[in-house]
Chain A
Amino acid sequence: MNATVNSAVRERMHVRFLLSDAGPLLALILLMAIGSMISPVFLSKGNLYNILSQIAVLGVGALGMTYVMISGFFDLSVGGVLSLAGVLVVGLQPSFGFTVALLAVVAMGVGIGCANGLLLRTIRGDFGASIMITFGVGTILAAVALLYSNGYSMTVQYSRFLSWLERGGVAGIPAVAVVLMICAAVLHVILRYTVLGRYMYLAGASARVALSSGVPVYTIRTIALCMSALMAVIGGLMETAQTASASPVAGVGYELDVVAAVAIGGTSLSGGWGSVVRTIVGVLLVGVLNNVLILVGLSTPEQMIAQGLIILVALITDRQRKSNLS
């Protein structure tokens, strides 16, 4: 008798837990329902295509940031990386060809990630240190991008890869979204099914416990920072392709948009908790929200206000439902 009651309670708890956990997903579904009611355009093929191509740059950055945040750090250098990757790939192409330029910026991304990681490892940095150090590195990179381009936007020369990113696609899905999906799939599998992924959670949940059980915390975090810089490079390539020019200020504010998307998805800022799927939901939420706000006819400032308020409300309701549960 008692056992059946217990299992029924447990069942109910389980369902409620799932529901509470799915807050951002429910919000996304709700938002899409509202969108399709408000505007007949919303569910059209063209509009969905637009949403997918608009979230890609944000999405890749958010994927990388997810790794960094789960492992217990923070990366404010991604904006600088994005700007620098864009201007470098455009600037290097005429003299070295596109392939070399591409390899160079990818190497640059990995290098910056390693530099961030090694720096933080040397000083045994904590969460706060990762904010300040990556902010400093990001500031430097943004300035280098401005210096390299003399502060002007640089026009893209033709290359097959960039024009594929701009116009191409697979089965009606824009190429940038395809790249985003591939990145998401790879990062999801690593995070979910490999030792490296489990170490990420361990390092973020408690650096001390992880260290004393033999997890190389700083190496894991360095890998996370490399992922995030690499994703920002991919974001820079997408941005460059989509705007057909590389702006040295393309990445200004990028890091904060990315953090917002990851946090809305439900990945914890204090580490050890989160997933790629959550982040994708968060990114979709931001993308759909922006789209709906535009369809409603809000001006850019009004969109900013609405976006800030809606995200805030989402965070509050999510938190309240969770505290009701516990």
Chain B
Amino acid sequence: MNRTLGVGAFIRKQRALLILVAGFIASSFASPYFLTADNLLNLVSQASINGVIALGMTFVVLSGELDLSVGALNAFSGVLVARLIPVCGAGASMIIAIALGALAGVGTGWLVARLHLNSFVVTLCTMFVFNGLALLLSDSRPVEIDNPVLGALGTGAVLGVPVLIWIFAVLCATAWYVLRYTWYGRNVLAVGGGAKVAELTGIAVHRYKISVFVISGVCAALGGIMLSGLLSSASPTVGGSTALSVITSVVVGGTSLSGGEGGILQTVVGLFVFAVLSNSLSLLNVPSFNQTIIEGLVLVVVVGWDYFSRRMAALSRLAN
């Protein structure tokens, strides 16, 4: 068997990264503004909000589940913080929002792990609940926020780099380390690879399933706080498409929806594929409807390519 990793094998392994690099190069040729520091910082800080949510989603997907409630939780925690700030200040309200995110994760995780309900349906229901709560809390209107702490979080910068990017970077590094180098990360992957086998090897599967939903809930709540800081207002309807686009980033990077395969680096690559795409399309003044069409096509092509090449690999294994 030929064991050398040729260029072709590399391309097959790092599809999303290749698309990202190609998109990056094409964008810098297409628009002179693309490679400026301002634009790149802007691009990354905009991506960092969905990025934080995507980090949490990566844990959920790796463990073989899905979380559709992140968009609603994102909107809910933004509105909650906006409402609580006049009452108990920025710090306490952020802590409350994040704690509620964690609590929601415990509830979802318990239903999925203990009652063996399907996570897609459970989080679909909690999505309705949190959307309703967000609308209720905000009277179905965007709530303005005027708070220096939240403002600094959303629009401030440290060492010339926006705070949003710092948060994302630190969380990325942490999540990457946890998944790669700790027993916790290994066990999450084991649970996603096969819950039954994991159970038989002595892993308390239900605890891991609950924990990934807690991580996802906390990340979604944090994303909501970051978003309302960036916009200095909180909209109850902001998370409508968040869940599916976050899942898209995770999957396009190469994390398998059936669990047990993938990681944080893949998610970051998948995230930036779409961030670079939408940034450069906006710079080129492509109308937003056409942008959506192109993004949909990229999703279909990347996921399709991924599966197709796996099928080809399986066929060539058979032939050998």
Contact = CB atoms under 8 A, between A and B. Distances in A.
Given A132-B299, A136-B297, A143-B292, A304 B128 contact: yes
* Chain A interface size, under 10 / 10 to 19 / 20 to 34 / 35 or more: 35 or more
Given A124-B307, A136-B300, A302 B132 contact: yes
Interface string A101-119: 0000000000000000001
A305 B129 contact: yes
Contacts of A256: 68, 124, 127
Nearest to A138: B296
Interface of B: 68, 111, 115-118, 120-122, 124-129, 131-136, 140, 240, 244, 247-248, 251, 256-258, 287, 289-290, 292-293, 295-297, 299-300, 303-304, 307-308, 311
A259 B295 CA distance: 24
Main secondary structure of the interface of A (DSSP, over half): helix
8 contacts: A123-B311, A132-B247, A144-B293, A260-B121, A260-B124, A315-B121, A315-B122, A316-B115
Contacts of A127: 257-258
Interface string A241-274: 0000000000011001001100100000110000
Given A133-B303, A135-B248, A307 B128 contact: yes
A312 B132 contact: no
Given A311-B125, A316-B115, A147 B297 contact: no
A143 B296 contact: yes
Contact of A132 (B131, B251, B292, B297): B251
A126 B258 contact: yes
A319 B117 contact: yes
A319 B116 contact: yes
A238 interface: no
Contacts of B307: 123-126, 129
Interface in A286-309: 299-309
Nearest to A129: B307
B248 to A, nearest CB: 7
Contact of B125 (A132, A135, A309): A309
Contacts of B127: 256, 308
Contacts of A125: 304, 307
A167 to B, nearest CB: 31
Given A119-B304, A260-B124, A300-B135, A128 B299 contact: no
Contacts of A319: 115-117
A129 B122 contact: no
A79 B240 CA distance: 14
A122 interface: yes
A133 B129 contact: no
Nearest to A124: B311
A139 interface: yes
A15 to B, nearest CB: 24
Contact of A142 (B120, B132, B292, B299): B292
Given A124-B307, A140-B293, A305-B132, A312 B244 contact: no
A190 B145 CA distance: 56
A19 B54 CA distance: 42
Nearest to B256: A128
Contacts of A119: 300, 304
Contact of B135 (A143, A147, A304, A306): A304
A136 B304 CA distance: 11
- Of A139, A140, A259, A260, chain B has the most CB atoms within 10 Å of the CB of A139
A270 B289 CA distance: 34
Contacts of A151: 289
Contacts of B117: 315-316, 319
A139 B289 contact: no
A279 to B, nearest CB: 14
A131 interface: yes
A240 B121 CA distance: 28
A136 to B, nearest CB: 4
A311 B292 CA distance: 32
A78 interface: no
B257 A131 contact: yes
Contacts of A299: 136
A308 to B, nearest CB: 3
B299 A139 contact: yes
Contacts of A132: 247-248, 251, 257, 299, 303
Contact of A269 (B118, B133, B135): B118
Given A135-B244, A305-B136, A269 B116 contact: no
Nearest to B138: A301
